[in-house]
Chains A and B, each alone.
Chain A
Amino acid sequence: MSRPVWGCSGLAVRYGATVALEDVTFEVPAGTVAAVVGGDGAGKTTLLRALAGTVRSAAGSVRRPDERRLGYVSAGPGVWGDLTVDENLVFAGRAYGLGPDQLKRRVAGLLERTGLAWARDRLAGRLSGGERQKLAFAMAVAHEPDLLILDEPTTGVDPVSRAELWRLLAGAAAAGAAVVLSTTYLDEAERAATVLVLDRGRSLLAGTPDEVLAATPGLVVEAPARPEGIPSWRRGARWRAWSPGGSTPPGARPVAIDLEDAVIVAQLREDQRWAA
């Protein structure tokens, strides 16, 4: 049996006259982790809400499982701060219709899996940012959803907790779920199976990280001083620049690009298009 592929095709979302998303196509296959990347206002939250079915689309189509087979973690706290960790999990499990025995087993398993067993009687409002995100993850997977959607689960979370969260996400994918998260960190997107980069509501780049790198036109070069006449940006103490025609300016040398370079080049091209 082939695994289901969730996602959207040609999706447009409008808030009144404002175009929040335009012609966005993105696939989230079961058993993988997919990342939606973009800055503040790029449309990440709108896309995730559209995938979850809480925002109406103006055009295009969305493929999602039945809402009882869907788990969603919103940006921000996402937990009940004045309930304990245990109570939050029980609340989530009951909301998804788990019976008493099933609920008890599931809560115990989730507490162990997320490393939150020590905090089960602690108020969720008193957890650290990373612990709260792990609790929100546990609540969203209480019913073992087919599609798990997380809106910026690692923003403001420290690197140790971020690594633990990624381990939990990979575990959900290994168990067969389709996982999609949004992030502003490109080093995170680089570890996802597929990536969608949004810019002003449009799809800037999409594919596997390798496909995105391979599709970058021209040449990215590195130089100790700012190269003249071509778009450039800082990378540490040195400069990087994009040579659309593929020539290497004097004093520069070509470099193997990473996702950060690919997105910057795509944004520069997009800016040129908007300016024209």
Chain B
Amino acid sequence: MRPQGPGAPRGGSPADPQLASAHGATKRFGELLAVDQVDLQVAAGEVVGLIGANGSGKTTLIRMLLGLLAPTAGHVRLFGGPPSRRTRARLGYVPQSLGLYEDLTVAENLAFSTAAYGSHDPVLEGELAGVRDVLVRELPLGLRRRAAFAIALGHHPDLLVLDEPTSGVDPLQRARLWETIRASAERGAGVLVTTHHLGEAEQCDRLVVLASGRVVAAGSLAEVVGDTTAVEVRTPGWEAAFTALDAAGLPVSLVGRTLRVPGAEPGAVGRLLADAGVPADVATVPASFEETFVVLAA
């Protein structure tokens, strides 16, 4: 067992403080370039969000970082060296499917995991303590997610990799799950979160946005959004305005009774509406993260 005291080294090594990193990581499957020269770092104590659409290369990149796939070019490092069986013990991974045995109880799942990692039995706290002898299958999703977290954190991993960690749960449960994730980061673990849920992006310290296998933006939420704008359309008849802009092939969206067109040019939107005979006020506004993402992914 590695020492787990407060003085224990948490970074990869003195020469490489990153827990996990990819340098020009590239993965080709035949004709398909799944991941294309990606750079990514996760340091101790930070929460990094990996954001991308389906097929953007998120899963392939994670599999390379975990050592489950070898890069075609470039390289990945885990705790300062190549990923290996040995580094697996310093990792906590919660897949979207949660990776629990549904026909075992919470306590049995925990015992299985601690035996595999050779770690001590972590204490099940709060509501989880009350369901330790309940079959995982019979738990509501929120508690199932918390059980998966408790089990993945049981061996005090230095790096946590979480795939869609709060999918399907209500806002209070989501906030409680993030409390656990943040507490791990504050104790010095690095956290890599992959998510579809763009509201989740604001929980991260840093974001890496993937599209078609490439990094198209990286940095804080404010840096990623940058000066991306949307055109906001206010009109008494949103239906006619929507129909006109949609027919012109613009990525128009409805928010309440207001329309928004990310990445568009206000003059062009105004002309289209005037041609359709729809009176409207058109203004340029900062884009939301979701709108920025749609513009970046296009």
* Chain A residues within 8 Å of B, Cβ to Cβ: 31, 33, 38-42, 128-130, 155-163, 166-167, 170-171, 173-176, 184-187, 190-193, 199, 208-209, 233-237, 260, 263-264, 267-268, 271
Contacts and interface: CB of A to CB of B under 8 A. Distances in A.
B196 A158 contact: yes
A7 B176 CA distance: 33
Contacts of A160: 53, 293-294, 297-298
Interface of B: 47, 52-56, 140-142, 167-173, 175-176, 178-179, 182, 196-199, 202-205, 238-240, 242-243, 246, 251-257, 290, 293-294, 297-298
A233 B175 contact: yes
B168 A155 contact: yes
Interface of A is mostly: mixed
B254 A191 contact: yes
Nearest to A270: B172
B64 to A, nearest CB: 20
Contact of A155 (B167, B178, B179): B167
Nearest to B252: A167
B170 A209 contact: no
A130 B251 contact: no
A218 to B, nearest CB: 16
Contacts of B198: 159, 187
Contacts of A191: 253-256
Given A186-B199, A191-B255, A234 B179 contact: yes
B244 to A, nearest CB: 10
A158 B53 contact: yes
A159 B298 CA distance: 11
12 contacts: A33-B254, A39-B173, A41-B140, A159-B53, A160-B294, A167-B253, A190-B255, A233-B176, A234-B178, A234-B179, A236-B203, A263-B172
Contact of A234 (B53, B173, B182, B297): B182
B233 to A, nearest CB: 12
Given A186-B171, A234-B203, A260-B199, A40 B253 contact: no
Given A39-B173, A40-B168, A161-B54, A185 B178 contact: no
A271 B176 CA distance: 14
Most chain B Cβ neighbours within 10 Å, of A170, A171, A185, A191: A170
Given A129-B54, A184-B169, A159 B182 contact: no
A186 B220 CA distance: 22
Given A156-B167, A193-B257, A237-B182, A161 B175 contact: no
Contacts of A260: 171, 199
Contact of B172 (A130, A163, A267): A267
A233 B179 contact: yes
Contacts of A199: 170
Q: What 7 A-B pairs are tightest by C-beta distance, nearest first?
A: A39-B170, A40-B141, A233-B175, A170-B254, A158-B53, A174-B239, A267-B172
B43 to A, nearest CB: 14
Contact of B54 (A158, A171, A208, A235): A158
Contacts of A176: 239
B175 A184 contact: no
Given A186-B171, A267-B172, 14 more contacts: A39-B169, A155-B168, A158-B53, A159-B53, A170-B253, A171-B246, A174-B246, A174-B254, A184-B168, A191-B255, A193-B256, A233-B175, A237-B205, A267-B170
A232 to B, nearest CB: 9
B217 to A, nearest CB: 13
Contacts of B239: 31, 173-176
Given A160-B297, A173-B254, A40 B246 contact: no
Contacts of B256: 191-193, 208-209
Nearest to A38: B170
Nearest to A39: B170
A247 B71 CA distance: 55
A236 B218 CA distance: 17
A33 B55 CA distance: 29
Contact of B242 (A38, A174, A193): A174
B277 to A, nearest CB: 16
A171 B242 CA distance: 7
Contacts of B255: 190-191
Contacts of B197: 185
Contacts of B56: 158
Nearest to A209: B256
Nearest to B181: A234
Given A31-B239, A128-B54, A170-B242, A163 B175 contact: no
B140 A163 contact: no
Contacts of A186: 171, 199
